[in-house]
Chain A
Amino acid sequence: MSDDPRMSGARAAPKRRIRLSWSDPAFRAIVWQIVIAGVVVAIGWYLFSNTNRNLSARRIATGFGFLDRVAGIPIGESLISYNPAEDTYGRALWIGVLNTLKVAVIGVVLATLLGTVIGIGRLSSNWLMAKLTAFYVETIRDIPLLLQLLFWYTMLQGLPAPRQSWRIGDAVFLSNRGIKVPYLIWETAHTWAFYGFVAGTIGTFLWNRRANAAQERTGIRPAVWPVGLAAMLGLPLAIWGIMGAPMAWELPVLRGFNFQGGGTVSPEYFALLAGLVLYTAGYIAEIVRSGIQAIAVGQWEAAGALGLRRGAILRHIVLPQALRVIIPPMTSQYLNLTKNSSLAVAIGFQDVVSIANTTLNQTGQAVEGIAVIMAVYLTISLSISLFMNWYNARIALVGR
């Protein structure tokens, strides 16, 4: 038995008993919660059953059976294979989800990098830098995103036709059909080299932890970068070299109407990504700036008195503290970027909204189609929120 006095019955708080009386606040609270929950459920049930009854009365098809039917709709770009003659609406919608994620994930990363650089730039003592970044933020935030997307898309359409494309050697082509790049022909050696890279990364991480421990113990930090270089770059290269160093490129070749072979960045994707990144970066810049300015100037002065340079102060002293201010509003920006990607419909990038719209129009099942879109965005947004909340809790000040 524990000696903790709280554990002994005599010292524990008296257990409250709920009386079945209106004068008991605990009882009232429970009753109200049941009533409100009941009303919410009843309204939801009414809307659902009423819609269902009337849809069937009007002989409009209902249910999610259409997800298993062959789609037949063409899709422009897809991360996974798709054949309209065989694949289902379910797979078509999944392609849409992947396309949305392709924009959202890369967009969030690029917007964070660009926004941080611009945010720091606004605080620069360099007059030109400070004014240029301020101009950027004020301009980009004042123009509706839809107009920016249409602007970028129109600009890309103004590029030359494939036959007159701008080129770098015989490898990279820029035309109104997008950016064509050589495509590495993937072989087993590359897969193993990739595994080597993963192993090297884990190894570097572990070595870094050891270095930290050694530094705390002895005050001397073992060098990390040579180990990192060897593990993350040397190991994959060695594996690749041992397996015969295959390096065959598939070059884009102009044949008929368009380039065949090679990889493509379509104008639709590029316009959407550029528009979202540039727009969101404007907001992120302000969040970063406000986060840095929220740190007391005494922190800068104290670090300066220790002899640290400005960059080192920013990286080691100010930014870690500023992150606590930055993360919560940053979550909103990530959610905004993800949801704004639905504007893809306007410029013909086939995200989940675009494909779901087509699906609901071809099947006539509007309620189900919209439900799919809502479920997808809810899932993505909740995942982002959960991750950011976890990260926020991790970097929060720990009360000691």
Chain B
Amino acid sequence: MTRFARWGIGAPILAGLFAGVLAIGSARADGSGSATMDATRAKGQLACGVSGQVPGFSLPDSQGVMRGLDADTCRAVTAAVLGDAAKVKFVPTTAQNRFTALQSGEIDVLSRSTTWTLGREGNLGLNFAWVNYYDGTGFLVKKAAGVKSAKELDNATICVQPGTSTELAIADYFRVSKMKFTPILIQELSEIQGAFLSGRCDAYSTDASALATFRFSQGPKADDLVLLPDIISKEPLGVMVRKGDDKWFDMVRWTFAAMIVAEEKGITQANVDTFLTSTDPETRRLLGVEGEMGKALGLDPKFAYNVIKAVGNLGEMWDRNITPMGVPRGINNLWTKGGLQYAPPMR
């Protein structure tokens, strides 16, 4: 993302809102029953909002291919709608313009480590379709500071991105703990991280996942940074869609359900073809061999097959993107393994 992307907040917001609101107002509902789905199919492209700056979630690799959990989430829904994950278009968004981009129709799905909160679902005209990462707010400090716990951060200066749920969470935490802190709020991710590394702040706070991957990306200097053990808030990072297009919402939700069921059944990107001849009824319904599950959602009967073929099951997405960062799966595991990921039955 260019340095100037941060100015995407001013005039483009208004222009985008006007344009998007006009466009949505005139869209007709026919075909699949979802205006967004029809428009996506007509374009042959799904615009998916990501950060593009966070290792493990969305960051271009040396070939310029977007990699990470959020990026693979975009690929999964694109494979479900269009049958081909390569038809995804990644749109970099900032913490501040992400909601407007989705409201205005610039993007169709927002997969950008965004916390599911009541305020956001109630005020923004947006819905959270699924949680792709159960996270919490943490603190990263320099080892030299000798801090062992968040309780020792009284009077600390803390670097945080404005407009995030993190900034509200730490304000609450310090208030409840009767401690004080000085916030340094810079919108541009690289600037706020630079301020922390240069010593402008005593701690850098955001989702613990992003802290872990940021620490990992420091290479040999990772050992100079310490992730404090305290997790001070619940941050379920979700995938968002616009309100008012229930079919589109269903599509995202059941794409995730399909990936979870696939993991439960041991269906992977590599072996999915061998399951096409399976006799297990739920596997047969999942892969579209039997029943009309896909059609009910306005999708191809083999939508789940396409998703698994493109990105694999939920566990594979994790292993590919998060495991290399040294983050244990913990509560993000399947419900059968003590985690929170649980899919309703595909019937």
Q: Which residues of A contact B (CB under 8 A)?
A: 47, 50-51, 54-55, 57-61, 72-76, 84-85, 146, 150, 154, 157-158, 161, 176-177, 255-258, 260, 267-268, 345-348, 350, 354, 357-358, 361-367, 370, 373
State the CA gap A57–B14 with chains docked (Å).
17
Q: Which of A54, A73, A177 is B200 in contact with, Cβ under 8 Å?
A: A177
Q: Which residues of B contact A345 (CB under 8 A)?
A: 6, 187
Q: Is the CB of B123 within 8 A of A157?
A: no
B1 CB-CB contact with A under 8 Å: no
Other-chain residue from A50, A61, A348, A357 in contact with B163 (beta carbon distance below 8 A): A357
Partner of A60, one of B125, B157, B186: B125
Q: Check B184–A84 contact: CB distance below 8 A.
A: no
B170 surroundings in chain A (CB, below 8 A): 74
Known: A54-B21, A58-B21, A157-B200. A258 touches B155 (CB 8 A): yes
**CB atoms of B186 and A76 under 8 A apart:** no
- Please determine whether A74 and B171 come into contact, CB atoms closer than 8 angstroms: yes
Structural contact, B154 and A85, CB atoms closer than 8 A: no
Let me know if B175 and A84 touch, CB within 8 A: yes
Q: If A260-B155, A362-B119 touch, does A85 touch B6 (CB 8 Å cutoff)?
A: no
Query: Nearest CB to that of A56 among chain B residues?
Result: B125
Q: Are B103 and A60 within 8 A (Cβ)?
A: yes
User: In angstroms, how far is the closest chain A Cβ from the Cβ of B343?
Assistant: 28
- Knowing A177-B200, A346-B6, the reply to whether A366 touches B17 (Cβ < 8 A) is yes
Contacts of A75 in B (CB 8 A): 183
Q: 9 new A-B pairs (CB below 8 Å) besides A55-B125, A58-B24, A157-B198?
A: A60-B103, A61-B123, A74-B171, A157-B199, A256-B155, A364-B119, A364-B120, A366-B100, A370-B10
B185 within 8 A of A: yes
Which single residue of chain A is at the shortest CB-CB distance from B244? A58
Which residues of the other chain, B, contact A357 by a CB distance below 8 angstroms? 9, 96, 162-163, 187
Query: Distance (Å) between the CB of B45 and the closest chain A CB?
Result: 23
Distance of A358 Cα from B99 Cα, bound (Å)? 12
* B112 interfacial by beta-carbon distance below 8 Å: no
Q: Judging by beta carbons under 8 Å apart, are B125 and A176 in contact?
A: no
- B202 at interface by CB-CB < 8 Å: yes
Residues of chain A with a CB closer than 8 A to B199's CB: 157, 161, 176
Q: Which of chain A's residues have a CB closer than 8 A to the CB of B153?
A: 257
Chain A: minimal CB distance from B265 (Å): 38
Contact A362–B198 (Cβ < 8 Å): no
A347 to B3, CA, bound (A): 12
Q: Which residue in chain B gives the minimum CB-CB distance to A259?
A: B155
A63 to chain B, nearest CB (A): 11
Please name all residues of chain A whose beta carbon is closer than 8 Å to the beta carbon of B18 when the two chains form the complex: 47, 50-51
Task: Say if the beta carbon of B242 comes within 8 Å of chain A.
Answer: yes
Q: A58-B243, A362-B163 are in contact. Are A348 and B17 (CB under 8 A)?
A: no
Q: Indicate if the CB atoms of B123 and A363 lie closer than 8 Å.
A: yes
Say which residue of A74, A267, A365 sits within 8 Å of B183 (CB atoms). Answer: A74
Q: B191 and A348: CB pair below 8 A? A: yes
B172: shortest Cβ distance to chain A, in Å?
A: 7
A-B contact pairs, 6 of them (CB 8 A): A58-B103, A61-B123, A85-B171, A157-B200, A358-B162, A361-B162
Residue-wise, chain B 169-211 has the 8 Å CB interface mask toward A (1 for contact) of 0111001000001111111100110110011101000000000
Is B42 part of the binding interface, using a Cβ–Cβ cutoff of 8 Å?
no
Tell me whether B167 is interfacial, beta carbon within 8 Å.
yes
Which of A58, A150, A177, A354 interacts with B125 by CB under 8 Å? A58
B65 CB–A CB distance under 8 Å = no
Q: Is B198 within 8 A of A158, CB to CB?
A: yes
A75 to B160: give the CA distance in the assembly, Å: 11
**A73 partner, pick from B21, B125, B171, beta carbons under 8 A:** B171
Q: Is the CB of B162 within 8 A of A59?
A: no
Given contact pairs A61-B123, A357-B9, A76 touches B99 in the complex (Cβ within 8 A): no
Closest to B181 in A: A74
B168 CB–A CB distance under 8 Å:
yes
Please tell me if the beta carbons of B185 and A348 are within 8 angstroms of each other in the complex: yes
Partner among A54, A72, A157, A354 whose Cβ is within 8 Å of the Cβ of B25: A54
Cβ contacts under 8 Å, A258 to chain B: 155-157, 182, 202
Once the chains bind, are B125 and A59 in contact (CB under 8 Å)? yes
- 4 closest A-B pairs by beta carbon, nearest first, are A361-B163, A54-B21, A60-B125, A348-B186
Q: Are A74 and B99 in contact (CB under 8 A)?
A: no
Q: B242 near A366 (CB under 8 angstroms)?
A: no
CA distance A358 to B97 in the complex (A): 10
